[in-house]
Amino acid sequence: MKQLPTISPSHIGAARLFLGAFMPLSTEQMEDLLQYCEWRRFNKHQNILNEGETENYLNIVVSGLVRKYIQVKNSEQTLQLATEGHIIQSEISYLTQSPSTVVLQTLEPTILLSMSFAQMQKALEHFTNGERLGRLILTHMYIKKDERRFMRASKTVRELFQNYVQKNPHMLQRIPQKYLASYLNIKPETFSRLKKLQMEKSKLGNH
Amino acid sequence: MESQQQLYRYINQLIPLSYAELEPLSALVVTRHFKKKELLVKAGEVTTMLYFICKGSLREYFVQNRQQITTDIILENTISGGVSSFFTGQPSLYYLEAMEDVTALCIANSDLEKLYKSDVKWERFGRIITGDFLIRQEQEILNRLQFTPREFFEYFFENYYELLQRAPQKYLASYLAIKPETFSRLKKAYHKKMILQSKTKRT
């Protein structure tokens, strides 16, 4: 059994930053909010949630990389690649407490700050402005999802690729090519070609 | 008045509120009518209103290479209105058009904020509808990923059969991302299947 990633003070600091981004919180409020959360640690290539299970957590990635995908016939369609600061979960399953159709899987050793469904209900009731915070988190999730929906509906494969690389320059190294290709809805062959073009372009840019 | 009752029923399905608690809302919502083809939201403009659709239907689309790509179809008893732009304050990427004559109740962003601040119950309502926006959005994305065009067509018509009568075929085809010819073919095949099924049921 591999050693799970260790939680360091820098992780706790990062978690505070991520939470504080949704709504300004005093030090006390932040400590209070963290009481509702739990830390979860995973090795690389571990399933956080399987198809058919009910999602019990809302997660923020504090460190690592998580992939969300749906099994369609014989292929896995990647829906999300979440790194530090991103929220990831099986949304419909969590919100409706019904079996998930998607799978969550780590691609790196990962540390999550998570809130269980039960703790969420408590926080909504007892945490100051809990309902507001809940709404703002959902709003943020909606906006991100809508951006992606629009991109996928309106951009060409090449535009999708370029836009992603521009916004996430380090991810080309970090994410296995097949997952990134699936996320961008690009055939692996096309992906290799676009990647090569991109490398040549950035080399030229350096001169 | 009837429209407001409809809205109250919708709200009460999500969160129990007394008549007195619902009352502040009535001063903030305005009834509006849109003729078929009229725009509720224009791409490039910031949306500051949310609409509760009492009657009629809407079509969300964007324009690319002079073509309208239909991305969503919205029916009665739904809250809509360029939600992303409403949330971000950025110009809308989509148009929202009345697909039939529409009666809607609308509320301004600033008034909705007031309502949220007035009572934690309203804040809760806001959280629940935002969750519903997210669910709807995610379902839309999953459908497009997991279904073949034929499966998506069948899924859509099993759930929204009446739309075959209500919506122009070209919009439905665009929404399902298939050519109008393919749409006609699938529709014919679907009807045949339905007839066969009802015959088997009777025997």
A66-94, pLDDT tens digit by residue? 999 999 998 999 999 999 999 999 999 99
Give the residues across from A42 on adjacent strands: A110
Nearest CA in chain B to A146: B84
Most B CBs within 10 A among A131, A137, A154, hence the mutation to make, goes to A131
Tokens of A103: 């799978």
Cβ under 8 Å to A: B residues 23-62: 62
The pLDDT tens digits of the residues spanning A152-193 come to 889 988 899 999 989 988 888 899 989 999 999 888 888 888
- Assess contact for A152 and A164: CB atoms under 8 A: no
| Structure confidence at residue B34 (pLDDT) | 98
The pLDDT tens digits of the residues spanning A47-69 come to 999 999 999 999 999 999 999 99
Asked if A138's CB is within 8 angstroms of B130's CB, the reply is yes
List Cβ neighbours of A66 (8 Å cut-off, separation of 6 or more): A48, A59, A80, A81, A82, A88, A104, A105, A106, A107, A110, A112
The pLDDT tens digits of the residues spanning B60-113 come to 999 998 999 999 999 999 999 999 999 999 999 999 999 999 999 999 999 999
| Structure confidence at residue A196 (pLDDT) | 85
| Structure confidence at residue A205 (pLDDT) | 67
The amino acid that residue A28 corresponds to is: E
Task: Judge whether A146 is closer than 8 Å to chain B, CB to CB.
Answer: yes
Q: A52: exposed, middle or buried (C-beta count within 10 Å: 0-12, 13-18, 19+)? A: exposed
Most A CBs within 10 A among B61, B125, B134, B147, hence the mutation to make, goes to B134
| Structure confidence at residue B202 (pLDDT) | 62
H/E stretch holding A188: helix A188-206
H/E stretch holding B95: strand B95-98
pTM: 0.94
User: B65-71 long-range contacts, Cβ below 8 Å, gap at least 24?
Assistant: B68/B95, B68/B174, B69/A153, B69/A154, B69/B174, B70/B171, B70/B172, B70/B174, B70/B175, B71/A149, B71/A150, B71/A153, B71/B175
Distance of CA B156 to the CA centre of its chain: 14
Most A CBs within 10 A among B116, B137, B139, B144, hence the mutation to make, goes to B137
- Assess contact for B41 and B96: CB atoms under 8 A: yes
- Assess contact for B61 and B124: CB atoms under 8 A: no
- Assess contact for A45 and A72: CB atoms under 8 A: no
* Averaged pLDDT for residues A28-41: 96
Percent of the residues in chain A that have a pLDDT greater than 90, as a whole number: 78
Confidence at A207, pLDDT banded by 50, 70, 90: low
Q: What is the DSSP letter of A54?
A: B
| Structure confidence at residue B164 (pLDDT) | 84
Task: Judge whether A159 is closer than 8 Å to chain B, CB to CB.
Answer: no
Order across the sheet with B49-55: list the strands: B30-34, B102-108, B49-55, B79-80
Taking only the tens of pLDDT, chain B with its 203 residues reads 789 999 999 999 999 999 999 999 999 999 999 999 999 999 999 999 999 999 999 999 999 989 999 999 999 999 999 999 999 999 999 999 999 999 999 999 999 999 999 999 999 999 999 999 999 999 999 998 899 888 999 898 888 888 888 899 999 999 999 999 999 999 888 888 888 888 776 65
**ipTM higher than threshold 0.85:** yes
List Cβ neighbours of B199 (8 Å cut-off, separation of 6 or more): none
Gyration radius of chain A's alpha carbons: 18
Task: Judge whether A153 is closer than 8 Å to chain B, CB to CB.
Answer: yes
Q: pLDDT at residue A40 above 80?
A: yes
- Assess contact for B61 and B71: CB atoms under 8 A: yes
Asked if A141's CB is within 8 angstroms of B127's CB, the reply is no
First to last CA, chain A: 47
Give the number of residues written for chain B. Answer: 203
In whole angstroms, give the CA distance from residue B183 to residue B177: 9
- Assess contact for A127 and A32: CB atoms under 8 A: yes
* Averaged pLDDT for residues A20-37: 95
| Structure confidence at residue A108 (pLDDT) | 97
Distances (CA, A) of A41 to A111, A142, B29: 5, 26, 47
The pLDDT tens digits of the residues spanning A99-157 come to 999 999 999 999 999 999 999 999 999 999 999 999 999 999 999 999 999 998 899 88
Place of tokens 């919708």: B10
In whole angstroms, give the CA distance from residue B77 to residue B170: 24
Nearest CA in chain B to A101: B142
| Structure confidence at residue B189 (pLDDT) | 87
| Structure confidence at residue A115 (pLDDT) | 98
In whole angstroms, give the CA distance from residue B142 to residue A2: 34
| Structure confidence at residue B159 (pLDDT) | 87
Tokens of B160: 């929204």
Task: Judge whether A95 is closer than 8 Å to chain B, CB to CB.
Answer: yes
Distances (CA, A) of B182 to A76, B140, B169: 27, 21, 11
| Structure confidence at residue A200 (pLDDT) | 83
| Structure confidence at residue A35 (pLDDT) | 96
